Every structure is written in C-alpha cells, then in structure tokens.
Structure 1
Amino acid sequence: MGTEYNVELTSPEIADLWTAYQADSMAICGIKYFLTHIDNDDIREVLEYALKLSEEHVQKVTEIFKEENYPVPQGFTEHDVNLNAPRLYTDKLYLIYILNMGKYGLETYSLALSLSERSDVIQYFTTCLNETEKLHNWAKEVAKEKGILTRAPHIPKPEQIDFVKDHSFLAGYIGEQRPLLGVEIGSLVYNAKRNALGQAIITGFSQVAQDKKVRKYLEKGREISGKHLEIFSSLLNQDYLSQGTTNLTSEVTDSTVSPFSDKLMMFHITTLIASGIGQYGRAMSTSPRHDIGVKYSRLIAEIAKYSNEGAKIMIDNGWMERPPEAADRKDLANKKH
C-alpha cells in the first residue's frame, strides 16, 4: 500500500468518525454505570471488553481529528452519568443490550468501511469491525450458556426446489396470504427483539428523567415500542411461529434516581430510532408480501415523526451537537454584500 500525503478526510469519513465518537462516548458512560451494579462475572467480562473497545475508539478518533485540526466533538462525559445511582437494569438486560449494540456496530462499521478511502481510516474501521465481531460472538455465546438467547423459529426443509407460479405470492391481504418466507421471519424476529429491548430501556429512562417534557416523550416511546412489538409478534403468530423474543420490562428495577443526563437518554433514544428506521427499510425491501411492506412503511412514518419530536426537544434544550455539514454557499455569498 502506497503512502498517502496530505490527503484530507472526505465528508463521509468525517461524518462516520464524528458519529462513532458520539456513540462510543455515550457507551462509555452507560457501561461504566452497568459495571457498578453487576453480579455475574461472565457478563462482567463482556462489559469490560466492550468498555475497553469504546475507550480505545474515542482515543483513536480524537487523535485523527487533532491531526486534521478538526474540532473534537464534545460527545458525552462524566457529567452525563451518575455512577452512584441505584441499579436500574438487571444483568440479563445488560447482556441483551450488548448483543444488540454489537449488531448495530457490525452494520454501521461495515458501511463506514465501505465508504472510507484514506488508508488510516480504512484501517480504523476494519479494526472496529473485527473487534465488534469478537464482542458480538462472545456475548452471544455467554447468552447461550446463561439460557438468555432466544432463538428464531425453524421452518421445514423442502423436498425439492420449486418456482413461484402465482401472483398471489406477492399479495398478503385477508384470504390471499401465503406463509412467511424465511427472510421475512428473520426480519420480524429481529425487529421484535429490538422493540422488546427498546421498550425496556425506555421504560427505565422514563422512570428517571428529570425534565417533564423529556419524561412525557419517553413515555410515548415506551407505548410505541410496545405496539410495534405486538405487530411483529402477531405476524409471526399468524403462521404459528414463536416470536423469538420475550417482553423485557421485568428486567427494569423500580429505581427513580437517574444514572444518566436527560441529554444522554434523549440522544440514545434518537440513535435507536435512526437504526430502527434503517432496519425497517431493509426488512421492507426484502419482503415481497404487500401487507408486510405496507406495515413497515406505516411504522417508519410513525417513528420518523417521533424522532422529529425528540430532535426538537434536544434543540430547545441546547443538547444537539451540530453534525459535520457542507459549506452554506448562499450564506457565504450573501456576506460579501
């Protein structure tokens, strides 16, 4: 590989590094708090490894930005976490949370890697991807050992290959429904699991939020995630398939003392929503059945509206750090007059 000289970061490289800094600085706050209230040693080791990765990632991105004379983001600091707050979640939820964050990391790092062009950035995201793969697989094995991992349902083995012969394969309304495809089942189970976790996380947040508007917003999110969980589960139930998940709100304690700043909790929820919109879109693109596509489209619109409401709250409170953006050429031109 040839040496690169004076190669500036491209817009996607800056954006992906900036976003990674935000996510990892938030993760450091969360995992440090989790580690102050944990009983299981196997889950503790997974969390400690996850914390180590996030700290190393923040350090590396800081170095890259400083070398480029690019402002290092504020992200989240020790001021956004109260390590003395009582336990809010169980060890089980910690592990499920890390599993989900591992999936999110695999998706975001692989996309960031595909968009990177400068050698050091390519190496950084390659390392992140490899480390996240290790974390995700480790957490999955621990979840299996603890009986926490809920497997997706099975489908029968066909006796021979076959071809679609009827347009009803695409339909999905009453009286015309074909059984779910394996790819549709996978997406429904994944999205059911995400919403079960999201409902539990946001339930805890709604108990401890300080600002009244934030608390009301989080309570609305708790209801939305619960409704989405029911929709995905009902589609699986129609074909007598297991849901592949369970309700996780029982893994939230009754604490009302906040371990996190309202700013951090709002950022966390908007990040989960953004990821959810992307996952719903991918699920819709791989499902030929019309009724499922319509459901995903409607759910995307609902959570996009909810995300916009959250963004307004963050802006009103001065919590939204401005992401990297292009120059405003019209504004620059106007300043000349």
Structure 2
Amino acid sequence: PLFTDTYMIVYLQIMAIHGMTRYSGAVSISIREDQRQYFIKCSYETMELYNRATNILLHKGIISKPPTLNNKQKIDFVKEQTFLRGWFGKRRPINAVEISAAYLNMQKTLMKIVLELGFSQVARSTEVRDYMERGRKLCEKHFNILTSMLEEDNLHAPRTFESEVTDSTVPPFSDKLMLYHVATLLSTAIAYYGEALSVCQRRDLSVDYARMITEMGLLAEDGANLLIDNGWMEQPPTATDRGDLAKNK
C-alpha cells in the first residue's frame, strides 16, 4: 500500500465534500427528469459517505475539530468602514465566515499535499514526478498562508498527514490516472478559493486568495498541457465552428 488506512479515510471524507458540491451543481444545470433524479440520488449517497467517514474520524480521534469562538449573547452590526481594513492600521480579528472558508481550504490542501507526495515517489515518468513535486510545494505554500490567517488570532490549524505515506515505490495506478486526478483537484481548488474570496470581508485576505487562485491556475494549466502532450486528455463535445464550415464549403 502507498497510503495508510488513516489517510484513506481522510481522503474519502474530503472527496465526499467534492462530490456533494459537484452533484448539487449537476442537479442545478440538468433539465431531463431522469438526470435530475440520478444526481439527487448521487448527492444523497455522497452525503451518507461523508457522514460515515466523519463519524469514523471522530471516533478514532483522527480529525481536527475547527476553531471555536466565544459565544456572544448579542447581535453586532458593522459601524465603520475599518471593518474591511487589511493592510494599514489595526486589523479586526478574523470572523466566523472567514475562519470557516480558510479551515475548509486547509483540510482540502492537506489532502492534496499527501496525495502528491505519494504519487511523486511512485510515478514512472520523470515529467509526472516533477509535476507532483511542484504541486506539493505550491500546496505547502498555500497551507502556510491559510495557517497564518488563523494563527494571527491564536486559532489552531488542522493536523497534517505526510507521515501516512508509506515507503512503497510500486505505482498503484498509471501515470495517466495519477496526473489526471491531481490536475483535476488543482482545478477544483480554484473554485473553492473563489468561494472563499467571495465571503472575505478583509482586504488582505481577499488579496491572498486572488494570488493563490492565479498560482493554482498556472499549475493546473501546466498539468493540462502535460496531459495533452501525452495524449491523455479527452476532448469534450464542442459547439459547431460556423466560421470553419463557411470557410471550407
């Protein structure tokens, strides 16, 4: 085995989060009733998977619980524009919405770091190994940025799982599958960063997410180019090129 059972249950939980997000999105863009019913069923099954995986992680003491806040017994309203301040002057503490977005992205980033670490030691292609290593280093950089958002206000980060990679050098999957999986996860991370950016109410945090989106986008593009170079990327159906039809008539 390339990964321990501990990491595998963490992997299942994080992938279930991805599944819940994508299946609900698929429902919203499906018109045919049979397709909608199918994706609704998939959403329900994925929620059950997430629930079971989370229960195991809690029972085994593996999962790191998110930071908790002191409960205030009154509602506060923003009274000054300094609430949005991020660079100059005294910054307000990070709020609950920003904490939630940062912590979720940290958990998903940790999963990718371990996956890329494991794949980098078993991939047969030098190009694929180098790409996995690049991805791991970028994810570690982003994890440190996200950690700093919380530690500034004395909030904890989730535990890491790099030690859950074994010393195996036998590839359990093809280079094609490993590269496609990681490239897809990196592209998905852009969407989660974008969601976190949309709820940020402090300018410095927004800039951090915008920069991370750019860096992740460039790495994901390089992964797509590597897939194309090896003939591994299947082309989705495209709209008709009317200009090409008229030119070749």
Shift of 1:274: 1.5
Give the Cα separation in 2 of the matches to 1:289 and 1:163: 16
Select 1:106's aligned residue among 20, 41, 44: 20
Name the residue aligned to 2:149.
235
Residue type of the partner of 2:208?
K
Give the Cα separation in 2 of the matches to 1:232 and 1:301: 16
Give the Cα separation in 1 of the matches to 2:128 and 2:209: 26
Name the residue aligned to 2:44.
130
Give the Cα separation in 1 of the matches to 2:68 and 2:221: 38
Name the residue aligned to 1:21.
none
Shift of 1:310: 0.8
Asked whether 1:263 is paired with 2:182, we answer: no
Find the residue that maps to 2:121 and give its secondary structure: helix
Shift of 1:314: 0.6
Find the residue that maps to 2:16 and give its secondary structure: helix
Name the residue aligned to 1:198.
112
Shift of 1:307: 0.6
Name the residue aligned to 1:319.
232
Please list the CA deviations of residues 227-259 of structure 1 after superposition, one character each: whole Å capped at 9, or x if unmatched: 11111111100000011x112111101111111
Select 1:328's aligned residue among 228, 237, 241: 241
Give the Cα separation in 2 of the matches to 1:290 and 1:107: 27
Select 2:79's aligned residue among 155, 162, 165: 165
Name the residue aligned to 1:39.
none
Give the Cα separation in 2 of the matches to 1:148 and 1:330: 57
Q: Any stretches of 5+ residues in structure 2 without a counterpart?
A: none
Asked whether 1:212 is paired with 2:126, we answer: yes
Give the Cα separation in 2 of the matches to 1:190 and 1:238: 17
Please list the CA deviations of residues 78-114 of structure 1 after superposition, one character each: whole Å capped at 9, or x if unmatched: xxxxxxxxx1000010000000011000000001001
Select 2:59's aligned residue among 137, 145, 158: 145
Identity of aligned residues (%): 43
Give the Cα separation in 2 of the matches to 1:168 and 1:125: 44
Shift of 1:278: 0.3
Find the residue that maps to 1:231 and give its secondary structure: helix
Asked whether 1:180 is paired with 2:180, we answer: no
Residue type of the partner of 1:119?
E
Gap change, CA 1:88 and 1:174, over 3 Å in 2: farther
Find the residue that maps to 1:323 and give its secondary structure: coil
Give the Cα separation in 1 of the matches to 2:90 and 2:236: 47
Superposition RMSD in Å = 1.0
Provide the TM-score with structure 2 as the length reference: 0.98
Residue type of the partner of 2:92?
R
Shift of 1:176: 2.6
Select 2:191's aligned residue among 271, 278, 282: 278
Select 1:308's aligned residue among 217, 221, 233: 221
Select 2:164's aligned residue among 239, 251, 257: 251
Q: When the two structures are aligned, how many residues end up with a matched partner? A: 249
